[in-house]
Each structure stands twice: as C-alpha cells, then as structure tokens.
Amino acid sequence: MSESTANTRKTSSEIYAEALQVIPGGVSRNTVFHKPHPYYASHAKGAYVTDIDGVRRVDFANNMASLIHGHAYDPIVEAVIAQLQRGTAFTMATEIEVAYAQLLTRRVASVDKIRFVNSGTEAVMAMMKAARAYTGKAKIAKAEGAYHGTYDFAEISQTSNPSNWGDPHAPNSVPLAHGTPPGVLSDMLIFPFNDIETTLAILDAHADDIAAVLIDPVPHRVGLSPASNEYIEALYAWTQKNGALLLFDEVVTFRVGYGGTQERYTVKPDLTAFGKIIGGGFPVGAFGGRADVMEVLNPHQSKLLFPHSGTFSANPITLTAGYVAMEHYHQEAVSRLNELSCVAMKQVEEAIQLAQVPVSITGAGSMFRVHLRPSPPVTYREAYQKPEVVQVIAKMLDYLFNEEKMMMINTCSVMLSTVMNQTEIDYLSEALLKAFRTFKPEIEAVQSKEV
C-alpha cells in the first residue's frame, strides 16, 4: 500500500467494495463477515478496539479466544520488537524454540515432548496423523458438532443438522465442504458428547480400526459445557484396552487452567493440540504428549513414520510472543481471570432474571456462552440452533456491536482477557440486560416454536 493510499481515509463500506473485487465474499475468514459489510480495525489496546470509522468497542471476543492478555500487551510488544530486529524466520533452529518447549512441557503434565506448527487446525491435523502413524490404524472418532479446525477429517459433522445427522445412537458422518472424499467420511466415526453408553457402543463396533478418539473437553460448538470426569475416564479406559490413543484438542480450552482443562481430570490424554493463546497474538499451533508416541516424528529413526516440517513452524516471532504470554499467564493470573469470569457469569444470570427471558448460560474458566433456551444444553443436538434462533442471535449481536459498542463471538460467547476488570464486566452485564429486554419478544417467540 502506497503512502498516499495509506493516508486516504476510507469508510468500511468503501474498503469492502474494493475487497469484493479481489477476495471471495470480501473476507478471508467468514467469522468477520457482516452485512452490509465487515468492519475494519484501525488500532487496539488492552480490552478495546477502535475501528477505521473511529468507533471504540469493548472486545469480549479477543480474536476468537486467542488474545489472553488483550491487545498490544506491552511486554509482548517489547519482546517481539527486539526479536524483529534480529530476524523473523531462518532456515535454522532458534533457542526460543527450545526454551518455549521446556516451558510448556513443564506446565502440562501429559506432554513429554512437543512440536510447533502454525495454527490450531494444523496442530489437530498433525496430532491425528501422528496417532495413525503410531497405531497403524486409520479411523478417528470425534464428538458430533465439535469444531476441530478445517482439516477434512476433523471437520466432519461439525455442522450436522436435523436433516442429515441421523439416529442419535449412530450419528451420521456428515461432510462440511462440498466435494469431501467419501473415504474421509468412512474413516471418521461420530459419537454423542458426554453420553458414555452410546459412545462406547459406537467405538466397540469399530474397535480394531480406531487409531484415536478425539475430544475437546469443553467444546464450544457443542454448547461450551465440560465433559464429565466419568466420560473422559471411560474414553481413556477404552483407548487403553483397544490399542488406540486419546487426543485432546485444547486449542481453545488451554486458557481454562494453568495446565489446560486436562488438569481437572483424573486421566491424561496421550496427545494434545494447542493454539490460540500460546501464540501471544500471532498465528500458532503445537501438539505434544507421550514421548514414545512423539517418536514417530523423530528424524533420527531409521524408519521415519511421520515426516513433518513447515516453513514458518516454530518461527521466533511467534514463539517469543507466546513465551512471554505464557510467562505472564501464571497461576495467579489464571485464578484471577477465572474468578472474574465467575463474577461475569453470575451478573449475566442476574440480567437474565431481571429481563425474565428464557435464556441460559454455560462455560468454564474464562469463557462462557449464552443460549436462547431456558435450560443449558448438554448435547450438540440440544445446543443446535435452528435458523430462526440464529437470526435472533445475529440481531442481538448486531445491536450489541452497533448500539452498545461491544464485541462477542458470533455464537453469543465471551472470551475474557487478563487486562479486564470489574468495569468491563459491569459494562457486559448491563449491555446484555438491555439486549435481553430489547429482544425479549423475539426470544420468547422462537422458544414457543420449540415447545
């Protein structure tokens, strides 16, 4: 972009008109798509983002849960600038890769060894491939509705709906993208989240062919309710008995505890995928776990089972930012943020009661989700939103964005950051109270259709 172009003030609508000429739909990620046009960020600091039109908003989305310390966090900025002056990427290893690997393996009890990649999608993809390489089996089992990125296999049944999801005791493997190869569908098994009996029956029917069971312990798309300890124990026992691996996707949920959500369970996964907050605001992914499983990636092996590389994997900018982010997301910071989230959830529940709307809330750690239903969903099929519900949520989020000057994730979810305090929480609960009251007739109308 030339200096003259950079100094020309354009509105979001003008920029979007140009974007439509060169980018499909005008955006490179659908999560920022809005009608009549997306909004373009100008700058941000802490818990606030200012768009190119000069509007300042409180950010409860934090770039889809990736900014644990909010925007332009000074210690990260300073460390990244110093590394930037030394170089951004090399065809050589860097010391920060080793230091950060040491930090994360100390922090997460289940991780003996770890590798860095460039996104959560890539981390899950590599973790699944490592499981197949280690076990020699092809099939992966995952929970219905769970989001695990855009890898062909991982995205199966991510958005299944009443027209195609099939029997709840034997859910269909439903493709997301048109043209998904049939072989992908046959190698992905789908089970209902938190249903031990049904899940084990599905796994037993394919026991000889399953390489791994993949689970997000607090799946956002399923409803943002934690998996029970009994459920995780049952999955782990099954994998141990049948020569399979238990895979955790902690790309989002790592923020829940100092060592991730997995520290809440009595058993540990064999492999874990990470992303989001471990990049300190930069693109990142990582996967790690048992040393013997991770050996499939070891180039010292005479027979390398899983050759793995990546031009920007473990780049020093990302790892420098991530290292500082995790140093500052210490046990005290985790506890404080989780306590603040508890306060926020309580205040939102009070707003629901004051507005007298059929709305519920679920969550864990520093993240929670608002549901336009009177009782919290416990399965994907309960959390599934019919088109008319999606429309009301979209209108509520547009109202909050434009009238109350705040941002949430488009599932009506909140992801907090350490730079927030009671001021932002009060702002959130008051804004939601106004939204509940404004849209109460529409919320009640869509609920009446559910009965």
Output the pLDDT for position 9.
79
Candidate list 129, 137, 142, 276, residue with the active-site label: 276
Whether the pLDDT of residue 2 is over 90: the answer is no
- Mean pLDDT (whole number) for 318-326: 98
pLDDT of residue 272: 98
Given pLDDT bands bounded at 50, 70 and 90, which one contains residue 451?
A: low
pLDDT at 449 over 80: no
Task: Give me the pLDDT at residue 103, please.
Answer: 98
What pLDDT is attached to residue 447?
Answer: 83
| Strands 271-275 and 56-59, bridge-based pairing | unpaired
What residue type is assigned to position 381 of the chain? R
pLDDT of amino acid 137: 98
For the chain, what percent of residues have pLDDT higher than 90? 94
pLDDT of residue 8: 63
Residue 81 has a pLDDT of 98
Least confident span in 27-41, 282-296, 315-329, 331-345: 27-41
pLDDT in tens, 423-436: 999 999 999 999 99
Query: Between these two residues, 68 and 1, which has the higher pLDDT value?
Result: 68
Q: Which helix (H) or strand (E) holds 357?
A: none
- Is the distance from CB of 370 to CB of 361 less than 8 angstroms? yes
Annotated catalytic residue, options 249, 270, 323, 384: 249
Selecting among 48, 134, 147, 380, the annotated active-site residue is 147
The mean per-residue pLDDT over the stretch 158-172 comes to 96
pLDDT grade for 5, boundaries at 50, 70 and 90: very low
Q: Is 136 left (phi over 0), alpha (psi -120 to 50) or beta?
A: left
pLDDT band at 34 (very low <50, low <70, confident <90, very high): confident
Q: What is the pLDDT at residue 429?
A: 98
The CA distance from 264 to 281, in Å, is 26
276 given a catalytic annotation: yes
pLDDT (tens digit, 9 = 90+) per residue, 102-117?
999 999 999 999 999 9
Q: What is the percentage of the chain residues whose pLDDT exceeds 70?
A: 98
CB 278 within 8 A of CB 319: no
pLDDT digits 0-9 by tens, 268-306: 999 999 999 999 999 999 999 999 999 999 999 999 999
**pLDDT above 90 for 4:** no
87 SS3 class: coil
User: How far is residue 294's CA from residue 328's CA, in Å, rounded to a whole number?
Assistant: 28
Tell me whether residue 249 is one of the annotated catalytic residues. Answer: yes
d(CA 285, CA 241): 30
Mean pLDDT on 189-211: 98
Overall average pLDDT of the 177-194 stretch: 96
Active site residue 112: no
Q: Which of 30-34, 45-49, 71-75, 259-263 has the lowest mean pLDDT?
A: 30-34
Q: Give mean pLDDT, residues 62-77.
A: 98
- Write out pLDDT tens, residues 391-419: 999 999 999 999 999 999 999 999 999 99
How confident is the model at residue 36, as a pLDDT?
87
CA pair distance 423, 127, nearest whole angstrom:
40
Delineate the domains of the chain, giving CATH numbers in brackets: 39-68+330-450 (3.90.1150.10), 74-328 (3.40.640.10)
DSSP string covering 12-64, please? HHHHHHHHHHHSGGG-SSGGG--SS----EEEEEBTEEEETTS-EEEESSHHH
